[in-house]
Structure 1
Amino acid sequence: MAHAAPTSGTRPGPTPSTPLPDVFSARTHQIAKWATPAVMGLVYGYWAAANQRRGGPVTGWNILFGFVTALVFAALYIAVRAVAPRMKREMRALLWATFAGCAVGFLLNQTGASVAWSTGMGVVTAAGMFAVLFYRYYTHEDAEGHRVVR
């Protein structure tokens, strides 16, 4: 039985000129644009408040701390998400890595860990995030910073 031989340089799948289909509506994307920071902020605020009370009772000040932390985290996330696409890939990776490192350092600081330990773990987190994000941006963009459709 004869089979067709593969041709060199071609592969099945979408061609670079046809992007992948968008399965969600514009309304779903708009809801997710605001729901993601809100949910992430609430989770982060709860986590920070739980770390701060160290297993003790929930107080009004602890709840206020959690909501303020959630609000600040969500606002910073929205700001970073708005500014990052206009930056070069190195600066974009550095911005997101700094955001992640500061977030981890703050959470660790709320546990009662020393400032040096919290800072060190934040820097380690930021370095790892920078490496991963720079690699992703470098392999998914051309030299001018435009997304490459594969």
Structure 2
Amino acid sequence: MSTQTAPTAAIAPTGHRRISRSSWGTPVALGVVFGGYAAWIANSNGSSTTRTTLIAVVGTVALALVCYVVGRVGPAVARELRSALYGIVFGCAMGYLLSLSGYSLLRASLVGLALGASMTAASFYWFYEHEA
């Protein structure tokens, strides 16, 4: 004697994607590390406590939001654009940290551009080799 169960009804999509802990955990962790390091650099260069705190909070929130958006949008775009997004975020973040540490704006921009191009190439290689 076998018992049969009725098939369950398919759940209709509601249009809202559930936000998992890992989707916001990594951007927040990156933002906190970036903001803390930016504050440490600013404090080491003699900035006031108010300016150091402002740099830490704005840097943390800005990088966390940008990383969250790139992480959510990334899987939907082509690997070339996704690797360019990763390179842009990385290059801008490193250029900003270099400008805080006392480099001239031109030198910080050029080093940020070189690091961003390197990240673009590395992430493109990673996506090209590891995607189906």
**Same topology, TM > 0.5:** yes
CA deviation digits over 1:47-89, x for unaligned, max 9?
A: 1111122254761331122011101110111111111111111
- In the other structure, the counterpart of 1:116 is 106
1:119 deviates by 0.7
Aligned length: 114
TM-score by length of 1: 0.69
> Structure 1, unaligned stretches of length 5 or more?
1-28, 142-147
Instruction: Return the letter of the residue paired with 2:22.
Output: A
- 2:58 equivalent to 1:68: yes
Question: Matched residues in 2 for 1:70 and 1:80: separation?
Answer: 15
Q: RMSD across aligned C-alpha pairs, in angstroms?
A: 1.8
Question: Matched residues in 2 for 1:134 and 1:57: separation?
Answer: 38
> Structure 2, unaligned stretches of length 5 or more?
1-18
- In the other structure, the counterpart of 1:44 is 34
- 2:87 equivalent to 1:97: yes
Instruction: Return the letter of the residue paired with 1:82.
Output: R
Question: Matched residues in 1 for 2:79 and 2:47: separation?
Answer: 45
The SS at the match of 1:107 is helix
Percent identity between matched residues is 32
TM-score by length of 2: 0.78
